[in-house]
Amino acid sequence: MHCTWRQRYLQVKIKVRQYHGENTQELDGRQDVHGDSREKVLEFGFDYCYWSVAPEEPHYASQEEVFQDLGVSVLAGASEGYNVCLFAYGQTGTGKTYTMMGTQDSMGLTPRICQFRVTVHLLSFTCSFLEIYNERVRDLLRGREQKKKASLRVREHPEKGPYVQDLSQHVVSDYKQAVDLLEEGIANRITAATHIHDASSRSHAIFTIQYTQAILENNLPSEIVSKIHLVDLAGSERADPHYCRDRLTEGSNINKSLVTLGIVISALAQNSQMSSSCQSINSVASEGDAGSTVGSHTSFLSGGGGGGGGGGGRRHCFIPYRDSVLTWLLKDSLGGNSKTIMIATVSPSCRSYNETLSTLRYAAHARNIVNKPRVNEDASVRLIRELREEIDRLKSMLISFKMRNPSPSLSDERDGSLSDMVLQNELKVERLIYQTFH
Ligand SMILES: Nc1ncnc2c1ncn2[C@@H]1O[C@H](COP(=O)(O)OP(=O)(O)OP(=O)(O)O)[C@@H](O)[C@H]1O
């Protein structure tokens, strides 16, 4: 069941688990919801669905099974030098924290990923752990001496993207260190009792693992940087008017981030669909006009909403990443330089019909997002590799041109310009190697 990346699309997996307090007898109560015999079937397509309702069931997806699928592919993507993001979204109490962190007796994805990295890969990493609570960022690993609940600033680097200033970074070289840090962070995280869940996470938590690998590519020493974001979002739920003021403020901030996340996901999904329809229009156009080059992107930003998938004249939607701290920090993971998986947790119970439907709609939108993951390598090394690839391409064009035009008079001119291009690129490569390594 190993998960493979569906090209550059954001992957969406569903995990089904009734929330705390629900019993399995309620799972078959559809008539209570619809109230009449008319049944409406709504279909959604996802990359995989894990059934985690009752361990005694034959197709029950255990924590180990979820790790073997999701965790292993996260680690594989990261070790190739990609940014990888895995985030859990869903109604409160449906098992997001259980999936991402787990419990004492049943380890979740985050500790398993750390364990695999240090005990199987035998390699260390640095990590950070933050929470976004009421639109403020807090370091969950500040240590006892700095218990002050100071909030940290989010900034944006022109190349590396958004980051949190002064967030503490910790080196982890064995599993015990990872567990200690996770336990410290989880203990510092803000939780509260809601009507559904007595230890509900009231903040969004992001655990980030980062490491650098030295590699040898085309006989050139280089480094690739891997970053894994493991995100446990606060639960989506409707506000209960009986909550106290603090709980209502929290709820409205949680909703603000989740609504913005929803808007960002919809806008990105729309843009991705628009780009793919432009590409098909362009490929039809280029088939009819074989000699001309047709640009495949009409990517300019507008302030407007933009319509659904359409033709070349439609404008791409503005993506309001900065409307919430959560979407700003996850900017790269949503439509940017990252391989991203969303795990949407839902309850099978009829009592959760509306929340489940809304999670499935949210997730179905997310599945249309196209990301642009690229290996995080040194820019000069990348350029050298690309130029070498270009040289190989030109050389094979030259060979096939010579084979098709054996008469020297006919091939002279084209032959000469291709040889020129090869020579120029070879000179560029030599210059770059000299500049980079001397
Ligand atoms: N697959 C599962 N097997 C056993 N227990 C589970 C499973 N999923 C969740 N639980 C338990 O259900 C309770 C609620 O789960 P959890 O805290 O993960 O929900 P959540 O979606 O993170 O909620 P919130 O959004 O309110 O923080 C916890 O006690 C958790 O241990």
Q: How many CB atoms lie within 10 A of CB 211?
A: 19
pLDDT-wise least confident of 281-290, 358-367, 418-427? 281-290
CA distance 438 to 421: 26
DSSP state string for 370-390:
B------B-HHHHHHHHHHHH
Residues 247 and 387 in one domain: no
Please give the structure tokens belonging to residue 272.
């991705």
Residues 267 and 410 in one domain: no
- Total domains in the fold of the chain: 2
Whether the predicted pLDDT of 292 surpasses 70:
no
Q: Examine the fold and report which residue of 357, 377, 397 is the final residue of a domain before the chain moves on.
A: 377
pLDDT in tens, 43-85: 888 889 999 888 888 889 999 999 999 999 999 999 999 999 9
In a domain? residue 269 = yes
Whether the predicted pLDDT of 18 surpasses 80:
no
In a domain? residue 115 = yes
DSSP 118: I
Average pLDDT over residues 239-256: 60
Percent of the chain predicted with pLDDT > 70: 71
In a domain? residue 326 = yes
pLDDT in tens, 77-124: 999 999 999 999 998 889 999 999 999 889 999 999 999 988 877 788
In a domain? residue 161 = yes
Q: Examine the fold and report which residue of 331, 362, 377 is the final residue of a domain before the chain moves on.
A: 377
Say which amino acid occupies 269. A
**324 CA to centre of own chain:** 17
Closest Cα partner for 162 from 224, 83, 76?
Answer: 83
CA of 185 to the centre of ligand 1 (A): 18
Whether the predicted pLDDT of 152 surpasses 50:
yes
Closest Cα partner for 207 from 294, 113, 348?
Answer: 113
Average pLDDT over residues 384-410: 76
Pocket test for ligand 1, best of 18, 97, 131 (most atoms within 8 A of CB): 97
Spell out the residues 6+ positions from residue 215 whose beta carbon is closer than 8 angstroms to its own: 81, 221, 222, 223, 224
Average pLDDT over residues 336-364: 89
Residues 219 and 341 in one domain: yes
In a domain? residue 172 = yes
Using an 8 Å Cβ cutoff, are 13 and 86 in contact?
A: no
What is the CATH classification number for the domain harbouring 130? 3.40.850.10
Q: Examine the fold and report which residue of 377, 399, 418 is the final residue of a domain before the chain moves on.
A: 377
Return the higher-pLDDT residue of 141 and 12.
141
pLDDT of 130: 95
Binding site annotation covers 95? yes
Please give the structure tokens belonging to residue 107.
């380890």
Q: Is the distance from the beta carbon of residue 92 to the nearest atom of ligand 1 less than 6 Å?
A: yes
The atom number, within ligand 1, closest to the CA of 345 reads 21
| Interface pTM, i.e. ipTM | 0.97
pLDDT of 368: 86
Residues 248 and 156 in one domain: yes
pLDDT of 409: 59
In a domain? residue 324 = yes
Of the pLDDT bands very low, low, confident and very high (cuts 50, 70, 90), residue 391 is confident
Residues 219 and 236 in one domain: yes
Of the pLDDT bands very low, low, confident and very high (cuts 50, 70, 90), residue 203 is confident
Most confident of 103-117, 183-197, 356-370: 103-117
pLDDT in tens, 164-179: 999 999 999 999 999 9
CA of 92 to the centre of ligand 1 (A): 8
In a domain? residue 17 = no
pTM metric for this prediction:
0.77
Residues 152 and 122 in one domain: yes
Dmax over CA atoms of the chain, in Å, equals 89
Return the higher-pLDDT residue of 193 and 350.
350
Residues 323 and 240 in one domain: yes
Residues 179 and 103 in one domain: yes
Residues 269 and 392 in one domain: no
pLDDT of 380: 73
Whether the predicted pLDDT of 231 surpasses 90:
yes
Secondary structure percentages of the chain, helix, strand, coil, to 5: 40, 20, 35
pLDDT of 242: 53
Residues 416 and 337 in one domain: no
pLDDT of 287: 47
In a domain? residue 254 = yes
CA of 94 to the centre of ligand 1 (A): 5
Average pLDDT over residues 314-342: 88
Residues 223 and 210 in one domain: yes
3-state SS, residue 358: helix
pLDDT of 344: 94
Binding site annotation covers 93? yes
Average pLDDT over residues 135-158: 81
DSSP bridge pairs for 39? none
Domain that residue 80 falls in: 60-276+318-377
Return the higher-pLDDT residue of 220 and 53.
53
pLDDT of 240: 52
Return the higher-pLDDT residue of 308 and 350.
350
Integer angstrom CA distances of residue 277 from 5, 11, 237, 284, 309: 21, 20, 35, 11, 7
Torsion angle of C-alpha atoms 254, 257, 263, 267, degrees rounded to 10 = -150
Residues 395 and 330 in one domain: no
For all residues of the chain together, what is the average pLDDT? 78
Closest Cα partner for 342 from 114, 81, 84, 163?
Answer: 84
For ligand 1, atom 18, which residue shows the shortest CA distance?
95
CA of 103 to the centre of ligand 1 (A): 9
